[in-house]
Amino acid sequence: MGYSEMVERKLVISRLEQMVVTGLFENAQVVELHCDHPDGQEVELGNIYVGKVKNIVPNIGAAFIEIRSKVECYYSLESNPSPLFTNKIGNKPLCIGDELVVQISKEASKTKGMMVTSNINFAGKYVILTKGNNHIGVSGKLPEKKRVRLREIMKRYASEEYGFIVRTNAASTSEQEICNEAERLIAEYERIADIASSRICYTCLKRALPPYISHVRNIYQRGSIEIIVEDEEIYQSIRQYLVEEQPEDLDKLIHYQDTQLPLHKLYRIESFLQAALNEKVWLNSGGYLVIQPTEALTVIDVNSGKCVKKKSDEKSVLKLNLEAAKEAARQIRLRNISGIILIDFVNMEDEQDLNMLVDEFETMLKQDPIPTVFVDITKLQLVEVTRKKVRKPLGESVNGIYSSKEYCN
C-alpha cells in the first residue's frame, strides 16, 4: 500500500470494561489496537516535567532523573547534549541535584523503567518541533518532489535551538496550514522554556493528550476517514479538541448512538483483541504463525501446516511465505511489537524466490507508521527486523489494565 493509494480508514473508539480501546481499520481490516485507561494516568508518555538528577552512572552513560517523589527515569547522557536547566548546581555538564526540563519518551515495561529526554518534542498533525535537533526532516514515505517542497517551506523556521520533522499528513494540506501549525508549536515551546525557570521541582509543565486523542491526531489523512465514538464523554473530549486544534476534521467525527448494538460488538473489537493476544495466528492457506515474545526479542515462526505437502513444492512454499510476510507485518503493527524481531520463514531453495520474499516483506513493513527496519536475512534464512519502541506492546497494555483471565492468558 503505497503513499498514492487511496485507503478507507475508520478509527473506532469504544469503552470496553476497564479500558478505552481504539481500533484502526484500513479497508475494513484492523491494523492497530490500542488499550488505555479511560481516566488516563498521572505519569503519561509525552508529559513534560521539571526533574531532578538523583544519580549519575558514567559506566553505562546514564543518569537517573526523578520526575516525582520516588519516580526515577533513565536518561541517556550521550543523547542529551543540550539540557534546559532550571536550577544548575555545579560546573560539570550534569551534576546530582541539577534540575532540568525533561519529557517522558518511553513508557515503562516489565523489565525497564521509564525513559526521559531533554530533547523535548511538540507534535502537531503536520509537523513535530524537536528541541536539541535543529535539522529539517521530512517523512520518507513521501515522493521526492513533495519532500523538497516541504523542506523549503520549513527552512524559514530554522533555529539553532530546534528543528522540525514534517509528517506524511503535510502532503495533503496547504502551505498556510503547515505554517500556522509550525508557528503554534514554536509559541508553545517558547512558553514552556519561559515558565520553566520559575517552577519548582516535579512540576508538570505540560500534560500529553489522552492517548485516544493522539490517535485521532496521528491518523493518516490520505483517503476517506471516519472517527466513530460511542461514549458521550470521550466524544465531547474529541470534539472539543477538533474544534480548537483540527477544525478541518470535525466533519469526520461520528457519534454512535445505537443502544441496541454496542459499537464494540458492531466492529468485533473483543474478538480482534482476543485474537491479537493469541500465540497462534492462522493463515488462509492452512499454515499459521506462532508469535512468542521474550525479554530479549520476539520470534515469529512460520509453519506450513497442511498447506505444503512436499518441501520440494517451491511454488507452494513461496505462496505460503508471501502470505505469512503480509500477516507478520500486520501482526507486528497490530500487537505493537518492538525491539528485535526474528521471523523464521519456511526455507526456500530458489534465490529468486527468496529475493521476491525479501522485497515484498520490506514493502509491507514500510506501511507501518512507527519506524520499522528490515535489517538482514541470515544464512539460516532468519529475517531480522527492528522496530522503534515507544509504547508498551498490546499484551502488556491489556495486562496492566484488565485482570480477567479472558484477556491475560
Q: What kind of fold does domain 1-40+210-276 have according to CATH?
A: Nucleotidyltransferase; domain 5 (3.30.420)
Q: What's the pLDDT band for 339 if we cut at 50, 70, 90?
A: very high
Instruction: Provide Rg for the chain, Cα atoms.
Output: 23
Contact in structure between 320 and 308 (CB atoms under 8 Å): yes
Helices (H), 258-298: 263-266, 269-276
Question: In angstroms, rounded to a whole number, what is the distance separating the alpha carbons of residues 114 and 202?
Answer: 15
pLDDT at 254 over 70: yes
- End-to-end CA gap in the chain: 33
Give the burial string for 94-127 (b: 16+ CB within 10 Å, else e). Answer: beeebbbbbbbbbbbbeeeebbbbbbbbbbbbbb
Range in 11-25, 40-54, 85-99 with the lowest mean pLDDT: 40-54
Average pLDDT over residues 223-248: 93
Confidence (pLDDT) at 41: 55
User: Minimal CA–CA distance to 15: which of 32, 31, 30, 37?
Assistant: 37
Check pLDDT > 60 for residue 4: no
- Rounded to 5°, the CA angle 55-209-234 comes to 140
Residue 321: pLDDT band with limits 50, 70, 90: very high
Q: For position 398, what pLDDT does the model report?
A: 84
What pLDDT band is residue 408 in, cutting at 50, 70 and 90? very low
pLDDT of residue 3: 46
Phi-psi region of 401 (alpha: psi -120 to 50; beta: other; left: phi over 0): alpha
Whether the pLDDT of residue 109 is over 60: the answer is yes
Q: Which three cell numbers stand for residue 50?
A: 521539571
Instruction: Read off the pLDDT of each residue in 120-133 and give the average, rounded to a whole number.
Output: 94
Instruction: Pick left, alpha or beta for residue 305 (phi over 0 → left; psi -120 to 50 → alpha; otherwise beta).
Output: left
Report whether pLDDT(132) > 80.
Answer: yes
- What is the total residue count of the chain? 409
Question: Which position has the grid cell 458492531?
Answer: 266
208: region left, alpha or beta (phi > 0 left; psi from -120 to 50 alpha) = beta
Averaged pLDDT, 79-107: 93
State mean pLDDT over 258-286: 94
Distance CA 295, CA 385 (A): 16
Domain ranges of the chain: 1-40+210-276, 42-208, 278-387
Can you name the residues that pair with 127 across neighbouring β-strands?
166
In the predicted model, is pLDDT for residue 288 greater than 60?
yes
Question: In angstroms, rounded to a whole number, what is the distance separating the alpha carbons of residues 235 and 210?
Answer: 12
Residue 290 has φ and ψ, to the nearest 5°, of -120, 120
pLDDT at position 1, please? 45
Digit-coded pLDDT (tens) for 357-388 = 999 999 999 989 898 999 999 988 899 999 99
Q: Give 187's contacts (C-beta < 8 A, 6+ positions apart).
A: none
Reference 43, options 137, 113, 131; nearest CA is 113
Instruction: Supply 373's cell numbers.
Output: 527496519
pLDDT at position 308, please? 62
pLDDT confidence of residue 312: 58
Q: What is the residue-wise DSSP string for 160-197?
A: SSEEEEE-GGGGGS-HHHHHHHHHHHHHHHHHHHHHHT
Q: What is the pTM of this model?
A: 0.85
Whether 2 shows a pLDDT value over 50: the answer reads no
Across residues 292-297, what is the average pLDDT?
90
Determine the pLDDT at residue 405: 40
Neighbours of 329 (CB within 10 A): 23
| Residue 166 contacts residue 155 (beta carbons within 8 Å) | no
**Residues 257-275: what's their mean pLDDT?**
94
Mean pLDDT (the chain, rounded): 90
Q: Is the separation of the CB atoms in 92 and 103 below 8 Å?
A: no
pLDDT of 407 above 50: no
Do residues 168 and 220 lie in contact, with contact meaning Cβ atoms separated by under 8 Å?
yes
CATH topology of domain 42-208: OB fold (Dihydrolipoamide Acetyltransferase, E2P) (2.40.50)
Parallel, antiparallel or unpaired: strands 253-255 and 136-138: unpaired
Helix ranges (DSSP H) in 222-381: 232-245, 263-266, 269-276, 314-334, 351-365
> What is the pLDDT at residue 45?
87
- Can you give 18-31 as a three-state secondary structure string? CEEEEEEEECCEEE
Spatial separation of the C-alpha atoms in residues 90 and 144, rounded to whole Å = 47
Task: Encode pLDDT of 306-319 as tens digits.
Answer: 766 555 578 889 99
Q: Is the pLDDT of residue 74 over 90?
A: yes
Q: How far is it, in rounded angstroms, from Cα 263 to Cα 21?
A: 11
- Asked if the model's pLDDT at residue 209 lies above 70, the reply is yes
Q: What is the C-alpha separation between 291 and 278, in angstroms, rounded?
A: 8
